[in-house]
Structure 1
Amino acid sequence: MHMARMHPALPLVLLGLVLQTAAIIKFDIPRPDPFLDPRNDPYNPLKYIASNTLTGISVALVLIVAVLQTWCIKRWGARWMSAMTIGAYCFAIGLAFRFGLAIHPQSKGIYIVEYLFVVLSPCAFIAADYVLLGRVARHVQADRHLLVSPRKITLVFVSSDITTFLIQAIGGSISVSANDYDRALAGSRVFLAGLTAQLLSFSTFTCIYIRFLHRVRKYEPKAWAMDQDKKWYESWKSLAVVLFISCMGIMVRSIFRVIELSEGFQGPLTTSEALFYALDTLPLFVAIVVYVPFWPGRLIRPQENPAQNDAVIDSEKVSQDEKATA
Structure 2
Amino acid sequence: MAELKPYRDSYYLWKYIPSTPAAALFVVLFSLGTCYIAWCIVKTRAFFCIVFTIGGLFEIVGYCARAVAKDRTEQLMPYVIQSLFILLAPALFAASVYMVLGRLIRCLRTESLSIVPARWLTTTFVCGDVISFVVQGTGGGVMVTANSMKTGESIILGGLFVQIIVFGLFVVTSAIFHARLNKRPTEPSLGKHSTWRSTMVMLYVASAFIMIRSIFRVVEYIMGNNGYPLSHEWTLYVFDAVLMLGVVSVFAWRFPGDIVPRKVQDFETVDGPMEMQGTGHDYSRTG
If the length of structure 2 is used for normalisation, what is the TM-score? Answer: 0.86
Contact 1:93 1:117 in 2 (8 A): yes
Contact 1:140 1:306 in 2 (8 A): no
Change (3 A) 1:211 1:309: closer
Name the structure 2 match of 1:292.
252
Gaps of 5+ in 2: 274-287
Shift of 1:297: 0.8
Asked if residue 191 in structure 1 is aligned to residue 151 in structure 2, the reply is: no
Name the structure 2 match of 1:273.
233
* Percent sequence identity over aligned pairs: 28
1:37 and 1:107 map into 2 onto residues whose CA distance is 9
2:128 and 2:259 map into 1 onto residues whose CA distance is 27
Name the structure 2 match of 1:47.
15
2:234 and 2:216 map into 1 onto residues whose CA distance is 13
1:111 and 1:306 map into 2 onto residues whose CA distance is 45
Q: Which of 17, 24, 33 is the aligned partner of 1:56?
A: 24
2:175 and 2:14 map into 1 onto residues whose CA distance is 37
Change (3 A) 1:164 1:98: same
Name the structure 2 match of 1:316.
none
SS at match of 1:269: helix
Name the structure 2 match of 1:150.
118
Q: Which of 206, 230, 236 is the aligned partner of 2:196?
A: 236
Answer with 89-98 or 285-294: which moved more.
Answer: 285-294
Shift of 1:84: 0.5
1:223 and 1:303 map into 2 onto residues whose CA distance is 13
Q: Which of 167, 170, 176 is the aligned partner of 1:205?
A: 170
Match for 2:264: what amino acid?
E
Please list, as runs of the form range in 1=range in 2, the aligned pairs for 1:105-254 lying within 5 A after superposition: 105-175=73-143, 179=147, 183-220=148-185, 222=187, 224=189, 226-227=190-191, 229-230=192-193, 235-254=195-214
2:217 and 2:267 map into 1 onto residues whose CA distance is 43
SS at match of 1:266: coil
Change (3 A) 1:184 1:306: closer
1:281 and 1:177 map into 2 onto residues whose CA distance is 27
Asked if residue 104 in structure 1 is aligned to residue 79 in structure 2, the reply is: no
Change (3 A) 1:43 1:104: farther
Gaps of 5+ in 1: 1-32, 314-326
Match for 1:247: what amino acid?
S
Match for 2:113: what amino acid?
H
2:69 and 2:145 map into 1 onto residues whose CA distance is 16
Q: Which has the larger radius of gyration?
A: 1
Name the structure 2 match of 1:35.
3
Contact 1:108 1:177 in 2 (8 A): no
Asked if residue 283 in structure 1 is aligned to residue 243 in structure 2, the reply is: yes
Greater RCO (Cα-Cα under 8 Å, separation 6 or more)? 2
1:303 and 1:289 map into 2 onto residues whose CA distance is 23
Shift of 1:124: 0.8
Shift of 1:281: 0.9
Query: CA RMSD of the aligned region, Å?
Result: 2.6
Name the structure 1 match of 2:278.
none
Query: Moved runs in structure 1, 4+ residues, more than 6 A?
Result: 305-308, 310-313
If the length of structure 1 is used for normalisation, what is the TM-score? Answer: 0.76
SS at match of 1:148: coil
Name the structure 1 match of 2:220.
260
Contact 1:73 1:82 in 2 (8 A): yes
